[in-house]
């Protein structure tokens, strides 16, 4: 569905934020009287010493903001601490998200059922292991290996070594660090 873009008419946009800054940016936007939406889902805590349910962003690194593309408003959005940029085509303006999509997301996250998202890693993605015995290793995502396990290849001395880690224990590296 093609959305007609009127830069002076408020619409929903996807805002890319710094890693783990979703709540900070959401609060900052609300404090500036912007309408923001940070969809969250309930998951079991990854800590080994605790077994409680916590709320985490459905789309880590992203949230939605309703604004017009009027330059002063656009600037106010990206000036929020932790905000990176509104998502769009590389050569064009930010691309709006249909109101129906936001409504559907609101229904999904308010329901009690489990919400799952698609694969977040693609073969060849540069990743860093963030937890466990291999924390700090930078490698290349190879494949999913069932039960939330992934295989990461580490290239060393012209050969590779592979480690298997939990999917939640790896993060993709930004393209500039790859």
Tens digit of pLDDT for each residue in 66-109? 999 999 999 999 999 999 999 987 777 898 999 999 999 898 88
pLDDT given at position 85: 93
pLDDT given at position 113: 66
pLDDT given at position 4: 57
11-110 falls under which CATH superfamily? Answer: NusG, N-terminal domain (3.30.70.940)
- Whether 11-110 and 126-177 share one fold: the answer is no
pLDDT given at position 46: 65
CB–CB of 82/18 below 8 Å?
Answer: yes
Overall pTM surpassing 0.85 (yes/no):
no
pLDDT given at position 66: 97
Residue 64 has pLDDT above 90, yes or no: yes
CB neighbour list of residue 140: distance below 8 Å, 6 or more residues apart: 124, 125, 126, 127, 152, 153, 154, 155
- Say which CATH topology domain 126-177 has: SH3 type barrels. (2.30.30)
pLDDT given at position 155: 75
Domain boundaries, the chain: 11-110, 126-177
pLDDT given at position 14: 94
- E-strand spans in the chain? 11-17, 35-37, 40-44, 53-57, 62-67, 83-86, 96-97, 126-129, 138-144, 149-156, 159-166, 170-172
Average pLDDT over residues 154-168: 80
Tens digit of pLDDT for each residue in 108-135? 888 876 665 655 788 888 888 888 888 8
Return d(Cα 139, Cα 1) in angstroms, integer.
Answer: 38
């Amino acid at each position: 569905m093609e959305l007609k873009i009127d830069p002076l008419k408020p619409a929903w946009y996807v805002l890319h934020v710094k890693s783990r800054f979703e709540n900070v940016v959401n609060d900052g936007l609300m404090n500036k009287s912007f309408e923001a939406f940070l969809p969250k889902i309930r998951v079991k805590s990854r800590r080994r010493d605790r077994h409680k349910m916590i709320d985490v962003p459905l789309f880590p690194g992203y949230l939605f903001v309703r604004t017009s593309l009027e330059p002063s408003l656009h600037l106010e959005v990206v000036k929020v601490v932790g905000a990176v940029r509104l998502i769009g085509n590389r050569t064009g303006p930010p691309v709006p998200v249909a109101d129906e999509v936001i409504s559907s997301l609101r229904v999904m996250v308010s329901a009690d059922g489990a919400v799952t998202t698609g694969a977040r890693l693609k073969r060849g993605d540069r990743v860093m292991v963030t937890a466990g015995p291999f924390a700090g290793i930078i490698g290349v995502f190879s494949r999913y290996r069932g039960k939330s396990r992934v295989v990461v290849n580490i290239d060393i001395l012209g050969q590779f070594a592979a480690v298997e880690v939990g999917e939640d224990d790896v993060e993709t590296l930004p393209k500039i660090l790859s």
